[in-house]
Each structure stands twice: as structure tokens, then as C-alpha cells.
Structure 1
């Protein structure tokens, strides 16, 4: 199958290793992956700030760049949700998948040749959980499920820690962290401390934006926790962690 790789602008600029891990992971599963070089921001920041009427250029460019692919895959729940709900092109939206969603629902991955001998804390990002339904919301009286957990359970040596509040918001919220800085930071601190108390060595998620927010707090507090995107762990990226020695 031909897959168009949709990489969020902040991943392209600040975390290119996540894009590379996503590419390699998909290629290992037999996908013919293409990266449209002219892709830019999908327009989500403008839409979140109340300026969706100014995203026309982003929408048109996205539709042009990703026309003709069997699937469009993105290592970000928030950007994927924006395309599916706000692009205004149903034919494009129906082919756009968040990475873990694509691996579980389209490729039906049952085993991964990855080894990661650390205690991993999973952050369930809000857009992925409540928008894309990648995991169950704890406030609902319904069976628990998580597509990310399903994939992480296939990684040899990985121990998934149990959090006190497994699906609490980290406080990033896109432009929310700018307009409500103090509240955003405090929410992030609470989220990080849950991981500290639970023994997390590596904090992971499907959205690098949430992880960027949490990593800033971790670094300022000088905490022994490493931050890695799910794609890096699933792809078998080898690391040596100071946290593993504690």
C-alpha cells in the first residue's frame, strides 16, 4: 500500500527523530511510504485560536500534497483529528489515520521485534482519546481499551506502569499553554508527579506536543525521566537511561 507520511510542523522542526522512527516503523511493516516535501502546517494552531477562516491555504495545500495515497498516516492525534474534522474534504479525511490507529486497525499488528527494558508511563493525549477514540475515557462506565497499550504490550522487556489518573490532561492544549500559562504549567506538574510516584523511567505518548510540554517541566525540575514518542519505542530505538540506574 502507498502511504503518505504526514509530519506535524513542530515534529519536523524540533523532533525529526520521531518522523524518522515513524517512517522506519511503517517500512518494516511493508508499507511504501512517501513524504510530500511541500507539506507545511495543517492549520490547527490557527483553528484552535479562532481563526479557522484563515486556514484555506493550508487546507488546499494539504489536499494537493496528499491526493492519491491509499492512506495518510500521522504520528499525532491532534493534527490527525484536525484534518478529519476541519479540512472539509471527506475523501481525504477518511484516509487519514493516527499512527497507533493505523498499526492496530489497518495493519492489525500482532507482534513487534522491539526490546525496551524500562518502566514506561503512557500519557493518553486528549485529542486522541476523546476525539479519535484511541482509548477509553475513565469517566465512562465501559470496558477499558487503549490502542497504544495494545502495541506497547508487544514490546519485549517493557513494563507499563499504573498511573493514579491514567487519562488526565497534561495542560498543553495548543495555544491554551500560551493564553493560560500558569494553569497549563500546574496541570503539567501534576501529570509529571503522577509518573514520578508511579516509577516511570520513560514517559511516552502519541503526541509530541504533549511530550514537549511535559519534557520542559521534567528538565526544569531535573527529574530522572526520559521522554520518547511511541514511534521511537515501537521502532526499537536503543537508549541508555540514567533513570534506569535508579
Structure 2
């Protein structure tokens, strides 16, 4: 199935066979594809190519994927770009480090093209769903603007990476409703994406650092809610 929008994907891996495999399958699906073989080059290519999605290996020469992701997330133009890590390392610490750097998803090798295409389709579906939701939420001194992915606290504008913004806006849309980690994973990351519950904790911590500690409350043994009490 051809994607409904001409999404641009940057493939970053020092293994030329993997790059060739992904480029072939992605191009067949109608995606526009660019490539890089290390994190430093990925940043340069991204600045010119303006990808919607970046598929990036973790372990690479010159600059690894996590360092590259951190640098990209510091640039306003890439705060909302989907970053999916590709790696043969399945240890939990590597996954947590990836999400802490700003990743949206984490896929272990060997990569199965059909499964990868399914995940990409899930990302594009959620993009369409987000466009249909209420565009502005005003609550507890915050103004959450879905069109610009920006949060305003008084006169101050707070720009969040895409997944942090989606997590905050999801909780704020139903204030005082408690969600388990699993419910947040399913609603924000989606059923087609494999991530661990710890990912939610990492993103909650980072959102609190930026908007304050009081808005999102931990319900011990259950999960989280947007607090208006």
C-alpha cells in the first residue's frame, strides 16, 4: 500500500547491505529515501533532505546514533521528526538510552522489512489521527497547541520533542483520568511499536522538567494522570 503522503525517510547505517535492503523496500512503498553511513553525516544529510522519519543504527563509526539523535533533537527543525533506532543490541540499557536521547521507537536486527513497513504505516496513521483531534487545549495555566507542537505557560513558550508533546497532550485531553503505563504506551506509541514500560517513566520525567512537577501526578502502583486538583 502506498503511503498517503510522500514521506521522506533517512536511512543511517554503516552496513551497506542493510541500507540497500531498506532503500529497496521503502522505495517500492513510495517513500522518498536518502542515506548516510554514520551519525555525523546523518546530521548533514538531514539538514538538506528534511526527513519525516529517520531510521538510524546505534553503533556506528565517527558518531554513534544516540549522539546524533541528541544533536538532532536540539535543532528546532527536527524536534518533531520520528527517529527509529536500528540495532543488534537488545539490552534494556541500550533501549532506555535511545529513548532518553529522544527516540520514538527501537527495532532490533535482523530487520524484517514487512514488520518495519507495518510500523511506519502505524506512524503515518497516528499522524492523520492527531490532525483530527482538538487543536488547542487550555488547562491549569498551560496552552497546548497541537498545530505547532508547542506548549505555552503564561507568556513562555516551551517546545517539546514529538513524543513528549504527544504524551502531555494525551494526558491533558482527559484530566484527572489515571492511565497505566501500558495504556500510555498503546495510545501514544501504538500497538505496533515495541517499547518497554520504562520508556513512559523517562518521558514523564523529561516533561516534568520542562513544564513543572505539579501537572502530571504519579499514582503509585497504577500510573499517571494530568492533575488539576
Q: TM-score range by the shorter chain?
A: 0.3 to 0.5
TM-score under structure 2 length normalisation = 0.33
Q: TM-score, normalised by structure 1?
A: 0.31
